Structure 1
Amino acid sequence: MEDDNPPNHLHNQTQITHPKNKKQNTQSQTLSQITNPISNTSVLGLVLLAHTFTYDLTNFPESLLLEIISRLPLKSIFKFKCVCKHWYIYVSKFKDVLDRFRPEVYNSHKFSVLFLSSFEEQQQSDQFKVLGVSNGLILCCLLGPLVYYVCDPVTRQWVTLPRGRDMSASTHPIFFGEGFVSRVDENNVVVGYTVVRVELLSLRTNYLSLEAFSSETGKWVDYKLPCESPIALMKRGGGPVCFNGNFHWFVYDHGMVAFDPNKEPKSCRLIQFPEDREVETEYKHDGLYRLCDECQGKLRFFEVAYDVCSFYCFSMWDMKDYEKGEWCSEFKVTRSDLSSSDPELNGWLMKAKFLPLSFHPFDLDIVYLRCVELACVVSYSIRNKTLDVVAKPIGVVDDLSWRVVIPFVIPKWPTPVPIPPVPKKVVKPRGAHRLRSCRIHTRF
């Protein structure tokens, strides 16, 4: 995130100050000139130069307030929200405001979860891992010992989750495939979340073993759910696919195993991938050339041909009936159909290898891929069949994880991280580990 420096196009600044008495928040507010001189041709400028006047913020023209807000750094807006509840009424239009920010506001160097760790932990780059995102919140973990956090990287608030069954001295289960989904109310404010992780088993089993944590209860709960066929979870790749509030983990042979944390009684079911996909490539490369994820309310399956000599290069299916597990083919594209306005990329189109990374979170027409030979991220337009270079790596390419990409969308408005209740302490034998309580933290 950028520091609180205004965009370059904001030549004249005004400051809205709020009275110390909270009861007067809806009354008169003071506006005064604080920096650069204002042009004499501006009527408003002449008034500000001559006087300090009062104005009722509730009568402030909405269009003018949006003009002011749209020129402020994102970090400032998130701070001002805490002192001016009146601004909540603009939530529905805040996407228009965010769309007008300069790209450099989203500075990846400062936008991170490293504030959760100490300087010593930051030196060990493999210690921190982002596991999932949902409605502006991030689930991440610190490895060795394993600690989970739910945080808001913008407000820098976070909650430390209590330890689960992995702290047991007798069983020592190995968990992976952590998933994270949050719930919002009618005002799009996060009111709760669920974290789920599955147990890694060495053999095929007729059941799915998992743990689920709910922010409403503050506890981890174990489940051992029977499956209609033996399954083996895939170890590589990211966490589960979240769709319709359900978690989906990739499994060998079948496709995905789905779990609905809100359905009673708890159960799981298998969902097949499209039958006409490249099954051989899927087995040989462990799913590296496929992408299955949610996009704008659709569950999509995108596939890239591993062999550059394959007739079709890109293929995509949409889930048409989730309950029946039915897919519908949307398109199949050959390499001769592709084009690019980038001269270097255009010269590689017939021989380059592409790895699917992510769907665009807002645009059903865009898929992001990695071009292996050029070591860059490209966008593919489904409608126009064109590819464009959108990002080139900074630093050593080998340091980047190209397999797992987790898109993060900055929310329209900041929301506090829900605090789980602290479970009642249970007296344990001497030497047993104590359950870590959940606390909310803020670091600036």
Structure 2
Amino acid sequence: METVRRTIPEALLVEILARLPVRSIARFKSVCKRWKSVIESDYIRRLFVSLHRHSSSSWSLMFRTEYCRHITQPIGFHGCETWDLPKSLVSYIMPFQRYPNLPTSEYYFKASSNGLIWIDVFLSRNQNMVYSYKSFVGNPVLQQWVEIPPAPDPWAKSKIPWYQNPFSAVGMVTRVEHGIVSSFKMVRTIQMEMFDRKVEGMYLWRVCVYSSETGLWTIKKLFSTRAVGNYGFDSLNGVLYMWDRFMFCNGPGVLIAHDFYGPEADDQCQIIPLPGVDHKKARRCLTTSVEDVIFIEAIYRRLSVWRLNNEDISERWQLIWEINMPSVVSDVNCFPLAMNPFDSGIVYLWLRQDRCLASGNLRTEEFIVHQESDDWSSSSEGDCCRINNSDTAGHLEEFCNGVVMLSQFVLPRWMDSVPQPPT
């Protein structure tokens, strides 16, 4: 009997694959060369994004860990249609497969951007408190990681000792082309000092910048009229945003921004004053939502939300919400934490007195108090949701002033391979 080999027509194959979750599609790349070619085509990516344009994607709020704390996720959504993950995102990070036997307290979440995550793994420290660690950038769900070479010693030609401070990370930015992350850059602070001590108000900010396009670290000098701290709070479209406020001030402070994919000759940081009022009872946060920088301020029962307007520098901030919160979240120990990355009408709050998380729909002015939950709890949005109140309380119990800046680790609606530096 003659055996006739049957194959699925390519058009039908695309229609079938595009309706599957990203995690499944990524696995099907290994079926054969034909499937790999189909999955890596622009057409299936555009079709997938179109079919899932109304679907949410998995995401988590993450604390940037420092000193000896483990990776903490206050809230995480998974099981979403786009990725269909069986567990929360932080579960894919720990234990880290390159070092599976390392204690979880030695993993440090540094930054994320467009689905990529920067993790530092600490290996040892000597008696002089000099740390030995490795840095990785990748996608924990797909288990694709790029090991980053150590940053160079900027004082190699001088007698000044310089240790790669593991807590000097500022942030990570990405370049997106046709919906795909084509490259990333990591930024570490080397030095922050007054540029000219005779002229007040100008700071020199020296940074090491790693680029996946070259696989190299470079040293860049930037200038700012405000000092830059150790951490940026987030990045959008290649721009890294940081926060600063004068000491002993109750005002909201300023945003410090720099485009690390901008012209190489551009060495000036933007200074963007934040909205809000000078009030010692104000509780504030910086976050992002739907490709916008969002600033939230809560004073007693009044909650105000602004969106950064990059199109009109004469009116930098647009007030998009202003409501009176219900009594369940009305005390002065209510801290705004973040905005939903896909919906600028959903806000997340920390109730310090009750030591628990709350979420609020600003359109309906309905708020829900969330209790501790595991990975299989169902959220009001239909996806699985994990609430971590106990560890969140540990991070926020000492926080009483300033601006809360959590990082949103958001998986994109489509994920290609992690950009690889040249070999």
The two structures share one fold, judged by TM-score above 0.5 = yes
1:155-304 to structure 2, matched below 5 A, reads 155-165=142-152, 170-172=160-162, 174=165, 176-186=168-178, 188-199=179-190, 201=192, 206-227=203-224, 229=225, 231-234=226-229, 239-253=232-246, 254-261=253-260, 262-278=262-278, 280-281=280-281, 289-304=283-298
Which residue is 1:360 aligned to?
Answer: 340
Alpha-carbon distance in 2 for matches of 1:264, 1:296: 28
- How far is the alpha carbon of 1:195 from its aligned partner? 1.0
Kept in 2, the 8 Å contact 1:178–1:197? The answer is yes
- Deviation at residue 400 of structure 1 after TM alignment: 5.4
> Does residue 329 in structure 1 map to residue 319 in structure 2?
yes
Pair 167,146 (structure 1): closer, same or farther in 2 beyond 3 Å: farther
Distance 1:378 1:279 in 2: 23
Report the alpha carbon displacement of residue 158 of structure 1 after superposing the two structures with TM.
1.0
- TM-superposed CA distance for 1:156, in Å, is 1.0
Q: CA deviation at 1:232?
A: 3.0
Residues 294, 308 of structure 2: 8 Å contact kept: yes
Cα deviation digits, residues 3-53 of structure 1 (max 9, x gap): xxxxxxxxxxxxxxxxxxxxxxxxx97xxxxxxxxxxxxxxxxxxxxxxxx
Higher relative contact order (CA 8 A, sep 6+): 2
1:94 matched to 2:84: no
- Corresponding residue of 2:109: 130
1:247 to partner: Cα distance: 1.1
Displacement after TM superposition at 1:321 (Å):
4.0
Instruction: Provide the residue aligned with 1:151 in structure 2.
Output: 138
Equivalent position SS for 2:25: helix
Counterparts of 2:393 and 2:89, CA distance in 1: 16
CA contact under 8 A between 2:94 and 2:104: conserved in structure 1? no
CA drift of 1:273 comes to 2.9
Report the Cα distance in structure 2 between the residues aligned to 1:181 and 1:77, rounded to whole angstroms.
26
Greater helix content? 1
What is the CA-CA distance between 1:280 and the residue it aligns to? 3.8
Q: Is the 8 A contact 1:129 1:141 kept in 2?
A: yes
Say if 1:184 and 1:217 are closer, same or farther in 2 by CA, change over 3 A: same
- 3-state SS of the aligned residue for 1:110? helix
Matched position secondary structure for 2:168: strand
Structure 2 counterpart SS, 1:105: coil
In structure 2, what is the equivalent of residue 410 of structure 1?
411
| Deviation for aligned residue 1:62 | 6.2
Question: Aligned letter for 1:272?
Answer: I
Instruction: Say yes or no: does 1:105 pair with 2:111.
Output: no
Which 5+ residue runs of structure 2 have no aligned equivalent?
Answer: 57-79, 123-130, 195-200, 247-252, 373-386, 397-403
Alpha-carbon distance, 1:193 to partner: 0.9
Q: Which residue identity is paired with 1:331?
A: W
Q: Which amino acid aligns with 2:176?
A: V
Q: For residue 56 of structure 1, give the secondary structure of its aligned residue in structure 2.
A: coil
Instruction: Assess if the C-alpha contact under 8 Å between 1:274 and 1:317 holds in 2.
Output: no
Q: Cα offset for 1:222?
A: 1.5
Is 1:140–2:133 an aligned residue pair? no
Report how many residues are paired: 339
1:308-367 deviations in whole A, cap 9, x for unaligned?
A: xx3x531112223457272233333223xx3xxxxxxx6x33437322222211112112
CA distance in structure 2 between the partners assigned to 1:352 and 1:279 by the alignment = 12
TM-aligned CA distance change 1:375 to 1:91, over 3 Å: farther
Does the 8 Å CA contact 2:233/2:286 hold for their aligned counterparts?
no
Alignment-mate amino acid for residue 378 of structure 1: A
Letter in 1 for 2:276: D
Answer whether contact 1:113 1:153 (CA < 8 A) is retained: no
Q: Distance in 2 between matches of 1:304 and 1:177?
A: 29
Quickly say closer, same or farther: Cα 1:59–1:395, change in 2 above 3 A: closer
| Alignment RMSD (CA, Å) | 3.4
Q: 363-372 or 94-103: which moved more?
A: 94-103
Query: CA offsets, 1:94-138, max 9 Å, x none?
Result: 3556756497623346322532452442x251x211122222211
TM-score after normalising by structure 1:
0.66
TM-score (norm 2): 0.68
| Secondary structure in 2 matching 1:408 | strand
In structure 1, C-alpha distance between the alignment counterparts of 2:294 and 2:392, rounded to whole Å: 29
Q: Aligned to 1:277, what secondary structure does the other structure show?
A: coil
Q: Distance in 1 between matches of 2:311 and 2:205?
A: 20
Q: Which residue of 2 aligns with 1:381?
A: 361
Which structure has the greater CA radius of gyration? 1
Tell me which residue corresponds to 2:250. none
- Cα shift at 1:387: 1.2
Give the residue type in structure 1 aligned to 2:45. V
Question: Residues 259-292 of structure 1, C-alpha deviation per residue, up to 9 Å, x if partnerless?
Answer: 121223132234233343345457xxxxxx3222
Query: Is residue 129–residue 140 contact of structure 1 (8 Å, CA) maintained in 2?
Result: yes
